[in-house]
Structure 1
Amino acid sequence: MQKLTTFFLLALLFGCTKKLEQVKLFGSTMGSSYKVKYFAGSSAPSKIIISQEIEAKLKKVNDSMSTYLSYSEISKINHIQGDEWINVTPELHQVLLEAKKISVKSDGYFDITVGPLVNLWGFGPSGVRKVPSIEEIEKQMAKVGHHLLVVDPTKPRIRKLRDGVELDLSSIAKGFGVDQLALVLENHKITSYLVEIGGEIKVAGTKPNGKKWSIGVESPDFFTRQIKKVFYLSDKAIATSGDYRNFFKGGGKTYSHTFDFKTGRPVTHNLASVTVVDATSCMIADGYATTLMALGNKAFEFAEKNNLAAFFIYRGKDKFIEKSTTKFKIMVQGASR
């Protein structure tokens, strides 16, 4: 009788076990691409429904934060002159509050008012990639500085304190987009997923076999694409910033899209790539990855002081040099697969 009871319980257990289906979605967004991979049971909505919700969410983020869309919320804000309060959507307000927080903490090395410089150097929606004159840089620098943007902490509104101030959220918007797509899945009780937009990633849970998600960090090589390092993550967000994908050459020098906001010029240091891991938010990881790239040789000290989980790749004389913060070693390198 005991054997029959045991057999019945096992049969009931395996009969009730839900088979998880792997679903993959991908497409274009934010001048890059997105990828969503998740495991879901039979109670989850269809792939078509999830795909429609994801596309709708991406459209909402783009319509708010893309400088490449003339009708976007951020583009309209950039054209407004004067210092009157400007009402913004709750989503944009959330991003601006976080951006302001990082700007203050980093003493302006992270700065979303960098729009005039981005366009001047040709990294934005307008302009040609070229080295501008000192006079041109100084003229645009007068419109740059996080102190020129006031973000109301209690109401979704902002003020620009000088005409010509232009916001550029390319250093944080992809991370926010990743968080938004993750919410789509979580709202449907999907707990095992990987979401990626342009290399910024958020993962949750583990695969059905119990293994964590494997995340590759590229080697910061200008001409080839290969994985330099693989990390195994669960319930984390990860973002990487580097000098090796978005750049141009001029006068025998290489100019990256990451700016030293103190000089108005692209950064010039031997930090080639930095990856930041955050326990909850890809937006935060994205913002700090850019911050650390801008800080360059001061980045590691800043990351340790602010308890950031960061992985650095520096350009040595004839090889790359890797370095990890204490928190990164504990959170990522010290974790099991």
Structure 2
Amino acid sequence: MKKKLLLLLLISTLFINSCSKNIYKGQFFDLFDTFCEVIFYSTSEEQFTEHALELQAEFEEYSMLYDIYKDYEGLNNLKTVNDNAGIKPVKVDKKIIDLLNYSKKMYKKTDGNVNIAFGSVLKIWHKYREEAERIPTIEELKIANEHTNIDDIIINEAESTVFLRDPEMSIDVGSIGKGFAVEEVSKLIESKERDNILISIGGNVKSIGPKLSGKPWSVGIQNPDTDSEKPYILRVMLDDMSLVTSGDYQRFYMYEGKKYHHIVNKDTLMPSDKFVSVSVLASDSALSDALTTALFNMDFEEGSNLVESMEGVEAVWIKKDKEIIFSSGFEEYVIKE
């Protein structure tokens, strides 16, 4: 499954310690149902292309493994696991086992506000969002919600298998999969002693070290008001940090004048209407990804208490009335303009 790699030369030449390096940007398409960008320094376009293709191959593997919609020849992915719910255990790659184990930990940490077993409910909303003609009934959603017990995901690490005990349940890792993949690929990059890299996949941004100059990367948080001439609500500094944003403007449809987006509350079974955007800063991209979903669904006080209880984690909430609320240390990362 080959993807086209588009290379863009952003800056012609930088001189660092008398060594000439260029900065390049590569874009990969159709990964995690979005596109991926990588930015880093290299002595030549050929060397950049070689390293960028290595990253593309890694992300492509994670994208296929965590896919719940498509089958791939010779590969057991999460769709395979879902298709065999209530039937039999499925032997899977360790990358799936690791993600599921981490997801179970985040379920406990967020009091169930991140639940990869919520797929039966999310599947209904996905169908209605694709049709964009009506909304599901609460009865339909309640029936699906009876099949969202995360303890029914049975992981056998010794056999490297996953079994869904409930035949009506399904896994959906949209709240955590991209962030987990970014974090794991970042660890691989660091093991090869490469740094000064910026990775972005659909709202998940991770910096491995600062820019080559030693200055932090500047990353924008998208303005939830997509009609505004101002594309970013603010910009933050990243240096060995991740920034993940979830918003109601990313995947949604309108019905009878109301917006129905993809972040669904576990209690109401309806798209959460507390905020329009939540962003999380942390060193771990998987953690940031999971927390954006959790915080989007929590009341502000509950979410704020969770963030303040976690070392090295900061967040910013944007309310429907456009009020911006920062956690205690977030503003230290904001670039003053």
Normalised by the length of structure 1, the TM-score is: 0.83
Deviation, structure 1 residue 329? 4.5
Q: Which residues in structure 2 correspond to 1:1-337 (within 5 Å)?
A: 17-28=18-29, 29-41=31-43, 46-71=47-72, 73-82=77-86, 85-122=89-126, 128-129=131-132, 130-151=134-155, 156-183=160-187, 185-224=189-228, 226-269=231-274, 271-279=275-283, 281-297=284-300, 298-307=302-311, 308-316=313-321, 320-329=322-331, 332-333=333-334
Deviation at 1:153, TM superposition (A): 7.0
Quick check: 1:192–1:206 contact (8 Å CA) kept in 2?
A: yes
- Cα distance in structure 1, aligned partners of 2:154 and 2:130: 27
CA offset at residue 75 of structure 1?
0.4
Q: 1:15, 1:260 → 2: CA distance?
A: 49
Q: CA deviation at 1:38?
A: 0.5
Task: Give CA-to-partner distance per residue, 1:76-125, whole Å, 9 cap, x none.
Answer: 0001132754433111111111111111122211111122222211269x
Counterpart position of 2:9: none
Q: What CA deviation, in whole Å up to 9, does each residue of 1:135-161 have, x standing for no partner?
A: 211221111232332445777443323
Cα deviation digits, residues 284-335 of structure 1 (max 9, x gap) = 111111111121433223322344311111122xxx11112224346x35x9
Is 1:314–1:322's contact at 8 Å kept on the other side of the alignment?
Answer: yes
- Secondary structure of the 1:326 match is coil
Structure 1 Cα separation of the partners of residues 18 and 177 of structure 2: 39
Q: How far does the alpha carbon of each residue in 1:124-182 deviate from its partner, in whole angstroms, 9 at most, with x for none?
A: 9x963431112211221111232332445777443323111111111112112322443
Structure-2 change in CA distance of 1:304 and 1:227 (3 Å): same
Q: Amino acid of the residue matched to residue 41 of structure 2? A: F
Q: Secondary structure at the match of 2:205?
A: strand
Q: Which amino acid aligns with 2:42?
A: A
- Residues in 2 aligned to 1:296 and 1:31: alpha-carbon distance in whole angstroms: 29
Cα 1:216–1:166 change in 2 (3 A) is: same
Q: Shift of the alpha carbon at 1:63?
A: 1.6
Distance in structure 2 (CA, Å) of the matches to 1:35 and 1:301: 33
Deviations 1:53-79 (A, max 9, x none): 122112211220012313360000001
Partner SS, residue 102 of structure 2: helix
Aligned length: 315
Secondary structure at the residue paired with 1:259? coil
Output one character per residue of 1:7-53: Cα deviation in whole Å (capped at 9) or x when no partner. Answer: xxxxxxx99743232122112121111110001357x9812321321
Equivalent residues of 2:85, 2:165 under 8 A apart: no
- Give the distance between the partners of 2:90 and 2:16, measured in 1 at CA: 58
Q: Distance in 1 between matches of 2:130 and 2:221?
A: 31
Listed as ranges, the gaps of 5+ residues in structure 1 are 1-13
Asked if the contact 1:247/1:254 (under 8 Å) is kept, the reply is yes
Q: How far off is 1:265 after superposition?
A: 1.6
Query: How far, CA to CA, are the matches of 1:181 and 1:23 in structure 2?
Result: 19
**Alignment partners' CA distance in 1, 2:294 and 2:158:** 25
Q: CA offsets per residue over residues 243-295 of structure 1, 9 Å max, x none?
A: 122111113321111011123221122x111111112x211111111111121
1:194-224 Cα shifts (integer Å, max 9, x gaps)? 0111121111222233321001001211544
Residue 19 of structure 1: SS of its match in structure 2?
A: strand
Match of 2:6 in 1: none
In the alignment, structure 2 segments of 5+ residues that lack a partner are 1-14
Q: Secondary structure at the match of 1:261?
A: coil
Give percent identity, aligned residues only: 22
Q: Is the 1:100–1:151 contact (alpha carbons within 8 Å) kept by the matching residues of 2? A: no
1:187 and 1:132 map into 2 onto residues whose CA distance is 47
1:215 & 1:327 partners in 2: Cα distance? 17
Q: Over alpha carbons, which structure has the higher Rg?
A: 1
Where 2:277 maps in the other structure, the secondary structure is strand
Instruction: Say which SS state the counterpart of residue 20 (structure 2) adopts.
Output: coil
Higher mean C-alpha displacement, 170-179 vs 226-235: 170-179
**Partner Cα separation in structure 2 for residue 152 and residue 30 of structure 1:** 26
